[in-house]
Structures are given as structure tokens and as C-alpha cells.
Amino acid sequence: MTRHNRTTAAAPEFGGPIHRRQSMQAYILETGRRVSPFDEPVGEMPVHNRRLRDHQQSILEDLGCQVETIDDLRQARRQPCLLVYDDVYFTYHAAQRFLAVARRRNEAARREGRKGRGNFAAALPVSPLTQRFVPSFQGRTVQQPDGTSVHAYDLYFLSDWDTATPAGDQTEPIGIPHYVNVRRWRVNRHFDASGSYSLPMSTVALCPVQHWSSLLPANILGIPSFVLQSAKKAAYRTATLPLRIVWRAGSLWPSRLRSKTYLAGPGCKVHPTAHVEWSVLGRGVRIGPNAVVRGAVLGDRVEIGPGALVELSTLGEKATVNANVTVRSCVVGEEGHIGAYFTQGAGRGDVSGQRHLRHQSPRQHQRQLRGSHGELRRPLAGRLPGARRAFGRRCTDGQRPGDAQWLHAGEAPPRDRGRSQPELARERGARRPRPAAKTA
């Protein structure tokens, strides 16, 4: 089954429709993968508050490609072409630079008359950018002739290939040129034994989305490229942004000007004392006094409480953050609520209680959410409505994923299962010491 999509890009969030001249064919191959434990198609996974399928198609159209969705490699008949699997997240700058390098290499191979040497796969060298989050879910590792290791991804440039052979078996991985800047924060050793929290920053990012934990690096590492691309699409708002910054700041001090560098949708209300830097705000966003929002993507009708700190995070529609709360490198689903005093490196924990929530910490708390490679014994969400929010509540109210048993709030321990409540009450009464008898 082949579905043809329109070649005119949809209207961007902050501007009108963009008409482009299509110059290259691009195919999105449906893998049929469903993301555990939600049992949802990978194309429906949220990335920067939109579906992964819409994200892929928008980037390919921005590159001037005619996009077509296929479910069989033999349907990709036009060459040269771009081929991407539907479970691969990539940024605009990653695809743009890969396409430029592949075209140059393909032209050189064509001049030399080397048949079959114009097929390339996107690759990134092993670095903090690929190893910071879920390294086991990165692309396959390939040893280069110079001894270095790279991660190859299912993003291909094909000019002379055999449709009966898998694309990965007839392509040469080429590294995408990029620059990585590692940003570090000082944190209390109670949250991180090293006393610091680091995050690699780059406009080039790729990540296979094969598990729900992969949504964390996809949404966080892609923020720099997404913010720049949003500014590029909103041509009028970007051109008038300097005047808007001066008007918002009411001053020419650099610190005041820097605190007002954001793209806001219609109906946003940002308090004059709030510091909002390099962020994209949806419609109807409200940010309270003295709040700090830096490098974040906020969906429609998000509310940030007074004194809250939100850094390098993606918040879904109608998400709320309580006052004086720190949210760093997190992904919050639609209508999610963050009430923990400190939330760092958490993915899809839609509901957070009034306790500490941390990622990769040596100390474990009851409401801690941690990534795990373990498998659940039984599905907890299924296909019921509101499954994501229910799973988020269970993550933050029970034990961490990957344990042998998963206990929820109010659930009896495993050794007490199968016994009635009166039996448990009698056992607790028997263990309780009786008060000494009073003597005259």
C-alpha cells in the first residue's frame, strides 16, 4: 500500500503556508513497530508536542523533498532518494547536513564510475551525544577503517541500490559533521553523586524510538534545532523579535534583553518579572512571576507557577508546574502535573507527587522514576483511554519499572497477596506488643 502526500507543507505554528519547489524524492518506510508498554504505533509518539510521523514529514518537506509513505522497500522506485524508517527521530540540521554530504560523495562516485557506491547511511561518532541517554537503543555500532566507532541509523541516501536487499546491507555509513557543547549544572550530591549534571547540546541529533524511554533523548536533544527551525518558519515574528524583546524588557540592559528571547503564540501571558530565554510557547501559555524558562518547548495552555524553573524540557498541552518547582531535562505529557520539588531527567511521568523525582540517582525513593531495560509481567496501560496518564501515575506512585513486582499505592506486598484483610489485621495485632497490665 502506497500513500501519496501533498508536496506543499502545512501552515507552520507561527506563520503562513510555505510553498517549496520539490526537487528530491523521500520515502518513509512503515515498520509496523508498536512502542511498549503503550502498544501504540511508533508514528503516534509525541515529539515536540506533535506526532513523530508529522515531525518526519515536516522536516523532509522543509528540505524540498516530495514525501511518500510506503510499507515495502520495493515500492521505493525513484533514485536518488532519501529513505527513513518511521521509528527514527532526526532533527532538521541532521538531515540537511547528511543530505549535503551524501550528495557530494555521490557526485564523486558518479564521476569515478563506481557502480553501487552512491548508497550512504547517516551515522554519528560515539560521543556523549549518543551515550548520554539509553545508549543501548542507539543505532547499530559500526567500526570504521580508521578504528573509530560510529552509530549508523536507518536514514539512507540511495542512488544505485537493489530493492531486494535490505538498505543497511548495501550502504556505507558517513558521519554527519556537527559540534557538541556539553553544558553542566551544579546540583546537590543528594540528587547526583558527582555533584554536577551534564547534558550534550547540538543541533544535530538522531535517535531510534523503540521504547518509551527513547522519547526522553528525542525531545531533549532536539530542542536546539527545533527552536531554530521554529524561528526560521516564523519569518515575520523573527524579523520583529528585536523590537519585541526591547518592548518586553523595558530596558537596554543585556540581562533584561536576554530574558525576553522567546517565540510566543497567541494569547500568552508572561509576567514582567519572569525570565524566558530561547523557548517556544504555544497558545495561551501562562508564566508566573519570577519563573525561569530556558530552552523549553511549551504546548498550548501550559501554566508555570511563580518561582518555578523549567530548563531543556518539553511540556505537553495543559501541563502545569507548581510554584517553586525545578524541572530539568524532562518530558511531560498532556495535562500532566509536576508537583515534586525537584524533577530531573524524567520521561513521560505525567503525574508527580510531592516528593523528589530523579533519574539515575544512587538513592531510591518511593516516588522515583527510573529508566530500565526490564520487562513488565503484565500490561498496565493497554489501549484504554488516558493510558499515558495512568501509566505516569503508577510510575510515580509505585516502584520503579524493571522490578520483579510492581506495587501501586495501597497494594499489599507480594507475601501478603492471597490473604484477606481480616487475616492481615489479626497478624498485625498479634505482632503489636500488648500494654502491661496496671497493678494497684
Confirm if 323 and 339 have CB atoms less than 8 A apart. Answer: no
Residue 229: what residue type? Q
Tell me the CA distances in angstroms from 199 to 128, 145, 256, 342, 437, one per residue in order: 8, 30, 26, 17, 64
Calculate the CA dihedral of residues 236, 242, 248, 254 and round it to 10 degrees: 160
- What is the sign of the dihedral through the CA atoms of 51, 54, 56 and 59? negative
Confirm if 286 and 268 have CB atoms less than 8 A apart. Answer: yes
> Rounded to the nearest 5°, which phi and psi values hold at 70?
-130, 165
pLDDT over 70, % of the chain: 71
- pLDDT at residue 179 tops 70: yes
Could you give the CA distance from residue 285 to residue 117 in angstroms, rounded to a whole number? 50
Q: Which three cell numbers stand for residue 210?
A: 523503540
The b/e string for 3-35 (b: 16+ C-beta within 10 A; e otherwise) is: eeeeeebeebbbeeeeeeeeebbbbbbbbeeeb
Bridge partners (DSSP) of residue 250 are none
For residue 156, the SS3 value is: strand
Q: How distant is the alpha carbon of residue 129 from its chain centre?
A: 14
pLDDT of residue 111: 79
Confirm if 148 and 125 have CB atoms less than 8 A apart. Answer: yes
Could you give the CA distance from residue 103 to residue 64 in angstroms, rounded to a whole number? 14
Confirm if 291 and 268 have CB atoms less than 8 A apart. Answer: no
Q: What is the DSSP letter of 214?
A: G
Confidence of residue 68 (pLDDT cuts 50, 70, 90): very high
Q: Count CB-CB contacts under 10 A for residue 255.
A: 9
Over range 324-333, report the average pLDDT.
88
Could you give the CA distance from residue 369 to residue 360 in angstroms, rounded to a whole number? 9
Could you give the CA distance from residue 11 to residue 18 in angstroms, rounded to a whole number? 7
Q: Count CB-CB contacts under 10 A for residue 50.
A: 12
Q: What is the pLDDT of residues 212-227, one digit of tens each?
A: 888 888 898 999 999 9
Q: How distant is the alpha carbon of residue 322 from its chain centre?
A: 22
- pLDDT at residue 330 tops 50: yes
Could you give the CA distance from residue 289 to residue 271 in angstroms, rounded to a whole number? 5
pTM: 0.70
- pLDDT at residue 291 tops 60: yes
Could you give the CA distance from residue 132 to residue 125 in angstroms, rounded to a whole number? 13
Domains of the chain: 3-214 (3.90.550), 223-397 (2.160.10)
Confirm if 333 and 316 have CB atoms less than 8 A apart. Answer: yes
Could you give the CA distance from residue 98 to residue 51 in angstroms, rounded to a whole number? 23
Q: Write the burial class of residue 103 (CB in 10 Å: 0-12 exposed, 13-18 middle, 19+ buried).
A: middle
Q: Which three cell numbers stand for residue 405?
A: 513486582
Q: What is the pLDDT of residues 78-99, one digit of tens each?
A: 888 999 999 999 999 999 999 9
Q: Count CB-CB contacts under 10 A for residue 419.
A: 12
Q: What is the pLDDT of residues 100-139, one digit of tens each?
A: 999 998 888 777 766 556 789 999 998 888 888 777 778 7
Over range 16-23, report the average pLDDT.
49
